[in-house]
Amino acid sequence: MEHGKVTEDLVRLMQATDYAARQHVGQRRKGERAEPYVNHLTEVATLLAETTGGNDPVLVMGGLLHDTIEDTGVTFDDLRQRFGPEVAALVVEVTDDKSLPKAERKRLQVETTPHKSRRAKLLKIADKTSNLRGLVTSPPTGWTRERLRDYVDWAEAVVRSCRGLNAALDAAFDRAHAEAWARFNA
């Protein structure tokens, strides 16, 4: 990759990091530690960067921005103007329709994920990996063991149709899933 392209990609990645952090500034993860939500976003982006060799800046930016439409006031047009149509389309592709009941959103993730793009599937694996890691290190306050087990099972159902695209990402998910399964089924 030429130097100018690397520099441009690095600038865009840092802009996406800054934008995501500012959009989620008041949000916290549901866990006992109530970590800043941006920790989840950077973990997802880091997983994607590490497991793809850093060769897909659009995917990494999508990891940073994947919850902006769903959880903040950001729109597709905002993302398209700031980060381009590829990033905006990827974020939309992994965005749940918050007007639907939670159970329906979860059902739709399992049903629609097999038909998503390669990038969207990789992002789903990284997102679920981060979420499972978070459940283990800082389970949400008030969640019963049954609810935790249900989440672990659901995450595996979503990721099932994404497998085979990236061995390193599959392995990261498998480790997180095994740890969560062992913890909540003991």
Catalytic residues: 70-71
Q: Which residues 6+ apart lie within 8 Å of 23 measured at CB?
A: 68, 72, 73, 74
The 8-class DSSP code of residue 100 comes to S
The 8-class DSSP code of residue 94 comes to T
In whole angstroms, give the CA distance from residue 40 to residue 110.
21
How many of the other CB atoms lie within 10 Å of CB of 151?
Answer: 20
In whole angstroms, give the CA distance from residue 152 to residue 135.
9
End-to-end CA distance of the chain: 48
Q: Is residue 31 classed as helix, strand or coil in its secondary structure?
A: strand
Q: Are the C-beta atoms of residues 94 and 124 closer than 8 Å to each other? A: yes
The 8-class DSSP code of residue 95 comes to -
Token digits of residue 88: 């905006």
Amino acid at 125: I
